[in-house]
Structure 1
């Protein structure tokens, strides 16, 4: 139970991740279950704080109930997260959150002073990171926006399993931005896509391999159209390396494309952003970097802001509008970066550098927050990053060396 609280954000909100989203805040029942053990370790004041926050996350909304019964969804009814074994009674698993009522009145769960754990101790600009290498989970608790982001690995799904890829295989999950279902528009939220032959063939990332966190960067590998009987040479792959910044994640990923005549188009999407009809869109540039900022409100009227920045190899940023693919709102938007590769064996830039940050207010992002990377330095003579380490120099003074070779011999599934 020492690390269990880091799964929740500052308000105690649950992250929409995994196959059991319909059960919502029942995950807080683990605290009560721990108290039935002889040697329990859950912090009672923190356990009650998280349990209360998760309860309000859902029961504080009107759209979660239909005729006083929880709907099949995370918030409102949401078809993409319903699975073959789901039924009308599935949301009743939320009742497990009330197991705490079995605890006697004098129990510390009820009597201890409520507290908020690490969130109280953190300083402005700080991000607390927790790595659980066994299950392949990496949690980032961001003080500035109160959000918890999850990066996961050790994921393999069938190429046709869109729900499984959304539940487990996205590059990151945010407690404030529930995952976006497949839009079918050629770019997807928190996911790379590789299109061949002008879009006739679309390769999906159905395997996410875990390596380790080293020197501030989390290393993973993404495989496209993966099959256990297929050699790596015959599938696209991307070496993933990402690091936390105060309100999000910076990515420096290296492409490993299979031989493909006709070239490819690569896309990467941000989180899905609720579109309530009044989203403000702002575009900015600094040197060879571009950024798009979205500012609007979610379905409950809460202020939200998201920005995506693309560097170097990325050619452009654009917006994708979608309907019924977002758990919070009927309409949503995705910022996506894209680039193309037309040469079959050409040695062109290999490293994709980007950032997605979020904020729960309308306070504008500063230029330094939008463009955190001051310089990208390569060690190969061609300055393409196809081999050798890559050095990121950030405007906050950090210098991070990304060495993709560290993943070799240590990839887990």
Structure 2
């Protein structure tokens, strides 16, 4: 078997950029399932995958139901590929096993008592929430859209036997907001096919979900993340067309409006070649957000996305991964982004979890004459962008998107972050420079890393101890490490400047003395940072650039020099480069080699700026830094490295804020960074 997927006999007439047509989607799905099916020998074998050491489940001493969960997740999530294949061709086989017969048999056994891999019932377990609920949602989302795959294959008696288990889990306790969608989908499937449900419970879940719509097509999850697209838009749009329009038209209209609104900006999340941005939790799900592209052609109104652009991005996002040998581990998608990386995954994942990344294969439910299939591929707005940069501001979720024509990369600039988690807390995320994990020794990629030199912290005392007599958990040993921001606040966009705040410490060990006020000016190929420190006590700070992986062990080439008051450091690997230029507020620039932090390689290089302030009462400071990236091997020019022509510093600005600046760029553009009433403009 080929070690990675290849587009054979590409059709460049209809798909000049990827060669991918409907036929190739079918071939890709078969290829992925052929690798997965190496773990079974016959139709009677339940589909399961080797457990992966580390934090993911199941653990060796887990109870039996965790192993049933592993099997059910493998069965359901691979059905994300198998269901669309069966829909296209009911006779399709993988390794001599007819898919329709295999999934019909294995799901029947899982959903009826008395079999080795039967699911437990809720009453057999402590009253809590379980992964089974999530997988029921995934299964019945597919069956609502494509019931002909296996549901119509069962006898009425078999259906009745399975419905007992399905109904108990559909009515069981759920958790948080996105999980309600799983209960909604399962309850709706039962009702659609004539089985009794608790209608008030279904309505309650629906109203709860609709209440989380925040605007710009986004919904509040734990924070704002890809779940807002993949579950709140993709799952619920399928629900709309197959159930909601008929039974709950008013709620369906809320979903329809939000999905339509999302389509105005969804393309901005992807790089020119369709690359996915490594952002938010559940990174191993990768391309599941690309499911929004076929959904665009399931909406009632005319799609807001050009069909050729939609397919180009959808295809490109899949090819980003399935064509790489390091993507596969144990013949299936790895628990990571490219290769397997422990730091990228959560303990709720198992080896089968990544198969949800193939949610975009719902495109095979679209008719063959859908514009999604027939339109000629194109690059959408990228074709006219040239070397310019396009930005989109999504005020409600506090996100800014930047599409850099010069590099073909897209960036997510997050603003509403509630905790210190590299999945969310980076200053920005770039499609071509996947994020790195935090390094407690400093120089963390795309973060402000903070270390206190306050003697009270060094001694391990609460900074307020001598006022209150109360101590908090303030370990001297722990304080020797660098910390990343504990949260991010979005303060809006004014005159082309993005305002945010990085909260470096939260109460009780924080008044308002641990704030970095952030101001981003997006330029072609990068950003000018004009950030104001309000760090009240002795401290050390680093600001890291994107990490550069050491592909095949080859280190990045680092160059460092000074020109006037500017300190410049660049780093390059084949096909990718970064540059960091400091103007004011920093002591030095430097680089570090990090181990086991990067998405692509065991080692990586990060260039960063550093400062140390040991005054008892440090002054506020402006830190002006230019951070650039490239996706080629060309030499940096002076025009690229030095986009700033003039900096006018102000203690008091014309709007009566303190410590601001007026920056004039080489192209004549002027930006005023005033931090006016920034604390009062917080938007969490």
> Taking structure 2 as the reference length, what is the TM-score of the superposition?
0.55
Give yes or no for the alignment of 1:73 onto 2:336. Answer: yes
Structure 2 Cα separation of the partners of residues 129 and 285 of structure 1:
31
Give yes or no for the alignment of 1:136 onto 2:360. Answer: no
**Which residue of structure 2 aligns with residue 57 of structure 1?**
320
Structure 2 Cα separation of the partners of residues 304 and 277 of structure 1:
13
Give yes or no for the alignment of 1:170 onto 2:426. Answer: yes
Do 1:270 and 1:335's aligned partners in 2 also have CA atoms closer than 8 Å? yes
Q: CA deviation at 1:118?
A: 0.8
Q: CA deviation at 1:114?
A: 1.3
Give yes or no for the alignment of 1:211 onto 2:211. Answer: no
Tell which has more relative contact order, 1 or 2 (C-alpha 8 A, sep 6+): 1
> Taking structure 1 as the reference length, what is the TM-score of the superposition?
0.91
SS in 1 for 2:520: strand
Map residues 121-200 of structure 1 onto 2, 5 A cutoff: 121-124=384-387, 126-157=388-419, 165-197=421-453, 200=480
SS in 1 for 2:268: helix
Do 1:47 and 1:109's aligned partners in 2 also have CA atoms closer than 8 Å? yes
- Structure with more of its chain in helix, by fraction: 2
Structure 1 Cα separation of the partners of residues 588 and 442 of structure 2:
15
Map residues 87-98 of structure 1 onto 2, 5 A cutoff: 87-98=350-361
**Which residue of structure 2 aligns with residue 15 of structure 1?**
277
SS in 2 for 1:194: strand
Do 1:239 and 1:256's aligned partners in 2 also have CA atoms closer than 8 Å? yes
Shifted more, 130-139 versus 89-98: the winner is: 89-98
Q: Flag the structure with larger Rg.
A: 2
Structure 1 Cα separation of the partners of residues 367 and 519 of structure 2:
48
Shifted more, 197-206 versus 59-68: the winner is: 197-206
Structure 1 Cα separation of the partners of residues 617 and 509 of structure 2:
21
Give yes or no for the alignment of 1:102 onto 2:377. Answer: no
Structure 2 Cα separation of the partners of residues 202 and 67 of structure 1:
36
Unpaired runs of at least 5, structure 2: 1-262, 459-478
SS in 1 for 2:337: coil
Do 2:272 and 2:409's aligned partners in 1 also have CA atoms closer than 8 Å? yes
Unpaired runs of at least 5, structure 1: 160-164, 298-302
Structure 2 Cα separation of the partners of residues 279 and 346 of structure 1:
35
- Structure with more of its chain in strand, by fraction: 1
**Which residue of structure 1 aligns with residue 628 of structure 2?**
357
Provide the alpha-carbon RMSD of the alignment. Answer: 2.0
Structure 2 Cα separation of the partners of residues 83 and 405 of structure 1:
39
Structure 1 Cα separation of the partners of residues 334 and 267 of structure 2:
26
Structure 2 Cα separation of the partners of residues 180 and 82 of structure 1:
13
**Which residue of structure 1 aligns with residue 563 of structure 2?**
286
**Which residue of structure 2 aligns with residue 30 of structure 1?**
292
Q: CA deviation at 1:40?
A: 5.0
Structure 2 Cα separation of the partners of residues 127 and 381 of structure 1:
31
SS in 2 for 1:95: helix
**Which residue of structure 2 aligns with residue 300 of structure 1?**
none
**Which residue of structure 1 aligns with residue 549 of structure 2?**
274
From the superposition, tell whether residues 403 and 101 of structure 1 become closer, same or farther in structure 2 (CA, over 3 Å).
same
Q: 2:529 aligns with which of 231, 251, 260?
A: 251
